[in-house]
Chains A and B, each alone.
Chain A
Amino acid sequence: MSFKKLIVGFIALGITIGLPPAFAADVTLLNVSYDPTRELYQDFNKAFAKQYEAKTKDKVTIRQSHGGSGKQARSVIDGLEADVVTLALAYDIDEIAARAKLLSPDWQKKLPNNASPYTSIIVFLVRKGNPKALKDWDDLIKPGVKVITPNPKTSGGARWNYLAAWGYADKKFGGDQSKSKNFVKTLYKNVPVLDSGARGSTTTFVERNQGDVLLAWENEAILALRELGPDKFEIVAPSLSILAEPPVAIVDKVVDKKGTRKVAQAYLEFLYTDEGQEIAAKHYYRPRNEAIAKKYEKQFPKVALINIGQAFGGWAKATKTHFVDGASFDQIYEPGAK
């Protein structure tokens, strides 16, 4: 083949491959979510598409995007056209409302239960047999214990972990702020590595065998246990944990522009139906629906729970006190501390 033919052929090839593939003209929703919900929404999307088609004859394709909650919110603010967001904490959706004005500030009132169709708690995942005998938060501040948790600056799950520890200390010291701070500081001295997202931390603990205990979403811990080895890990429920409410919302400006409000609304409402709640429970999220919660109660240990509103005055306040630059986390965390 001569050199010129080669060039011409190459350009022709480029044009052929470069033609965009034709997409069918069905409704497409984009759900921008956080790290550990991948498996949940894979199942849920299938069930919803089936139910929606049966009801309205419309075919709906749901596309997924996953990553650290804060990072995902940032992408939506920068223009990732999510029809719905299903993130790890309300604060991230508040940020979308405040910075990009893509939805109204009272989004959390538009769906039942603070717009959180399922909840979770923070638990400990330890190695089989619990060799370091880690039973409660007090055990995590002992010298020589290595704790794995992601970075609260970038990860929603990490913020819940941090606040759960703080809430425990708060109860223990009867609200003495400086003692609580000291407790959390000692705990984070035992953290050898901060990953940027919950899934990264799980991989660090489970795959790379780092650390003695992983602070994790209950659903993430059970999933890791089932997927990667019931013979290698076990779950420990601490005496006190925090009720994590991952919220969902419609991104008003996007659905109005794309004309997908109706299907987006149906999608989120389907999370609250019996079928949606079952799917959540099957993926180890605690369902809101009491009958279904009862059916699955064996897989969820009973733990005393604090919630963000009562214990910390809501996310806006908690973020200001603990996670903005220079707040409590920056004060207590020394990178590379032993």
Chain B
Amino acid sequence: MVAVLSAVALPQATVQRKPVRKPIPWVPIVLVTITLLYLALFLFVPLAAVFAEAFKKGAGFYWDAIREPDAWSAIQLTLIAAAIAVPLNLVFGIAAAWAIAKFDFRFKSLLITLIDLPFSVSPVISGLIYVLIFGLQGWLGPWLSEHDIKIIFAVPGIVLATIFVTFPFVARELIPLMQAQGREEEEAAAVLGASGWQTLWYVTLPNVKWGLLYGVILCNARAMGEFGAVSVVSGHIRGATNTLPLHVEILYNEYAFAAAFACASLLAFLALITLAIKSLVEAGQHKEHQK
């Protein structure tokens, strides 16, 4: 009986006293290899392929493809849309984040949900919303047509669609940051007699500047790369309402593969610049924290 008891008790004792396991040497190697392989297969190879295809016919051809009037107009339009959408969403993002993080009011959670809306609906729907509102058969269409105001199938529509899909980036980046920082500093500023603008400019914004910049960068990247929503409202008029992503598709469908990849590489290049700025920002942020 005793023997049986001890036999039963024994395994339990070993479990409790089990020594710390030595790390198996090959596990990190395998994990790192898998990660690198995965990255190579799904990121580096396609990216390299884009640039390889783009320069297939030589650098001269590459420049010609980019300087071609339709391509140039697409580049301009992409920059215009981003240059309007990003500052607007910057201002909106700061205002919304400030309101949500620093003040209490009714329907606050509803506002947060609304800000997230563009993230959760498909970009195609974002585009169709504008067709439904501003299209000739839509709500405002007949009135707009009478007054000769063009919204969709023109630059304003493209800008609107871009604003819609890039709406949440800045606000989403700032809200958690501002909430984490609390209200003490703002309250102190108010007690010391600072006006609202002064508080915003000298207290709140400096505290969140890196987060803000990060949000702007993400917002900009999406604004330049947006395809779905813009495609719906663009009308695809060459040299007038084609953005760079739409122009890439057109060139591809015209069997102009090298030119398509040249423009695609330009987009990829813009993305890489964005990423570079992003890492610079992160480095700056890191430094700031160490001070």
Contact = CB atoms under 8 A, between A and B. Distances in A.
Interface of A: 3-4, 6, 10-11, 13-15, 17-18, 20-21, 30, 35, 38-39, 63-67, 75, 77-81, 99-100, 199-200, 203, 227-228, 257
B93 to A, nearest CB: 13
A11 B153 CA distance: 26
Interface residues of B, number: 38
Contacts of A200: 253
B184 interface: no
B153 A14 contact: no
Nearest to A63: B237
Given A14-B84, A63-B239, A78 B155 contact: no
A3 B216 CA distance: 13
16 contacts: A6-B213, A18-B80, A18-B83, A38-B253, A63-B239, A66-B250, A75-B153, A78-B135, A78-B137, A78-B138, A79-B135, A79-B145, A80-B153, A81-B150, A81-B153, A99-B137
A20 B137 contact: no
B235 A65 contact: yes
B240 interface: yes
Nearest to A206: B255
A66 B236 contact: yes
Contacts of A4: 201
Contacts of A79: 134-137, 141, 145, 152-153
Contacts of B135: 78-79
Given A79-B145, A79-B152, 13 more contacts: A3-B209, A10-B87, A11-B87, A14-B87, A17-B80, A17-B83, A65-B237, A78-B135, A79-B135, A79-B136, A99-B137, A100-B136, A100-B137
Contacts of A10: 86-87, 90, 216
Contact of B136 (A21, A35, A39, A78): A78
Contact of A203 (B84, B206, B209, B253): B253
B254 interface: yes
B102 interface: no
B189 interface: no
A98 B183 CA distance: 61
Interface string B149-171: 01011010000000000000000
B229 to A, nearest CB: 15
Interface string B213-254: 100100000000000000000011111100000000010111
Contact of B254 (A3, A30, A38, A80): A38
B148 interface: yes
A227 to B, nearest CB: 5
User: SS class of chain A's interface: helix, strand, loop or mixed?
Assistant: helix
A77 B254 contact: no
A246 to B, nearest CB: 18
Interface centre among B137, B237, B238 (most CB of A within 10 A): B237
B206 to A, nearest CB: 7
User: SS class of chain B's interface: helix, strand, loop or mixed?
Assistant: helix
Given A11-B87, A14-B87, A21-B76, A30 B237 contact: yes
B138 A199 contact: no
Contacts of A77: 136-137
A227 B136 contact: no
Given A17-B83, A78-B131, A100-B137, A257 B239 contact: no
A17 B150 contact: no
Contacts of B240: 63
B124 interface: no
Contacts of A17: 79-80, 83
B137 A64 contact: no
Interface in B57-93: 76, 79-80, 83-84, 86-87, 90
Nearest to A197: B253
Interface in B176-222: 201, 205-206, 209, 213, 216
A247 B239 CA distance: 25
A140 B122 CA distance: 38
Nearest to A102: B136
Interface in B117-138: 131, 134-138
Contact of B236 (A21, A65, A78): A65
A79 B137 CA distance: 8
Give the 8 A-B residue pairs with the shortest CB-CB distance, closest first: A79-B136, A78-B135, A14-B83, A17-B83, A80-B153, A80-B235, A65-B236, A14-B87
B86 A14 contact: yes
Interface centre among A18, A30, A200 (most CB of B within 10 A): A18
A228 B256 CA distance: 11
Nearest to B201: A4
B145 to A, nearest CB: 7
Contacts of A75: 153, 235
Contacts of A39: 254
A20 B201 CA distance: 31
Contacts of A228: 255
A230 B37 CA distance: 39
B144 to A, nearest CB: 8
Nearest to A79: B136
A144 B219 CA distance: 49
Contact of A199 (B205, B209, B253): B253
B86 to A, nearest CB: 7
Contacts of A38: 253-254
A325 to B, nearest CB: 20
